[in-house]
Amino acid sequence: MAQQPVEITGSIKKQTGKPIRLFKVSDGKTVETSTVKPDKEGRFGFVFYPEYEGLYVVGLGNEMSPNDNYKFYFKGGEKLSLTLLDTGYVLNGKLNSKENVVLTQWHDLVNPIEQKSINFMKTQSTYVDFFPQLEATAVKAKGFLNGKATGNKKFDQAIKGILKLDMASYATNFLNTPRSAHPSVEEYSPYYSQMKATDFAENTRQVYSYPWGQRVLSALVSVDMRKDGVKYKSGLEGMKDFFSYLPNDTLKGDMVLQTASGYKSFSDYQSLMAAYGKYVLTKEQKLKSEQIMSPLLTYKAGEASLDFSYPDHTGKMVSMKDLKGKVVLIDVWATWCGPCKGEIPHLK
């Protein structure tokens, strides 16, 4: 099924000069896979083979946030036709999949609070008008899926979590973005009392399959801490408080790497990894950790060397730590160099 291409045809109501972007979802973040500039009539299109069955994103936004970006569900073989508007999108024709029709019906229901929360630069709003709308939308959301089974069991199960993450995204993003007035915790509307990070953090499944999963989870923890009266602390101490709201170790590892990505010095990176590197568990996380670390290694005289292990002439693994206190000469041979390769038998 995944061998069948997805065909997206669309138009944009108002030309902005920006390209239209297509994103996939990877570990709770969006990754741009393709971009196209609309023609002079505002038309655009994509044809691609989906890497997985699940959510993809189309829009004018970037990888960092959901602003002006919209979710669609593909497994292969779908034809999606849409028009991008100033404040949303509409589907065109009758060939759109049942899954994307349901997602669009949901989009239409929540779009008023999405615009106030996510696309807040276009819509002026404070908690005075937003909270009542959030509560009314939450009531409608409870019965939204009634009679909307698509026949795709995977989607029909996944959509339940998508709706909850969407609502959490709107609720938290509203609190965490600039407003002319901000509520105290005591003024939060009832919806916030039943919204908890732990509901999404028992495992990685929901967070990793949602386009802005890691962003929303981090925001949920921040709101939970405010509700619990936990004061913000910087550095490693603050991270300890943050982790108390995350039961899953892999998700903790993602937060470690998110913190590390903002570091400018190797010593800070070392301190972080000494305390919380145990949560960097997956192959992808370890690769990301190396990518973050490499630019921080200045190799200035007097700095600690990078610790690594390598077999000696007997096959025994020897690490830099094993050679502490000794002068270490590292002789690097180029395996592409003819004369060097000629000497390798003598080296052995």
Asked whether 190 and 135 are in contact (CB, 8 A), the reply is yes
**Per the structure block, which two tokens stand in for 6?**
């997805």
β-strand partners of 253: none
Mean pLDDT of 62-89: 96
Residue 338, classified by CB atoms within 10 Å of its CB into exposed (0-12), middle (13-18) or buried (19+), is exposed
DSSP 313-327: TTS-EEEGGGGTTS-
Secondary element (H or E) of residue 339: helix 338-347
Q: What span, in angstroms and rounded, lies between the C-alpha atoms of 217 and 169? A: 9
Model pTM score: 0.86
Mean pLDDT of 315-333: 83
Mean pLDDT of 231-237: 88
pLDDT of 323: 85
| Percentage above 90 pLDDT, the chain | 78
Q: What span, in angstroms and rounded, lies between the C-alpha atoms of 166 and 27? A: 17
Check pLDDT > 50 for residue 2.
no
Confidence of residue 179 (pLDDT cuts 50, 70, 90): very high
Asked whether 226 and 185 are in contact (CB, 8 A), the reply is yes
The mean pLDDT value of the chain amounts to: 93
pLDDT of 347: 66
Comparing C-alpha atoms, which of 8, 6, 86 is closest to residue 45? 8
Q: What span, in angstroms and rounded, lies between the C-alpha atoms of 253 and 259? A: 10
Comparing C-alpha atoms, which of 319, 261, 310, 313 is closest to residue 285? 261
Range with lowest mean pLDDT among 28-37, 186-195, 265-274: 265-274
Check pLDDT > 50 for residue 87.
yes
Mean pLDDT of 222-227: 97
pLDDT of 206: 96
pLDDT of 311: 86
Asked whether 168 and 195 are in contact (CB, 8 A), the reply is yes
- Write out pLDDT tens, residues 14-31: 878 899 999 999 999 999
3-state secondary structure of 169: helix
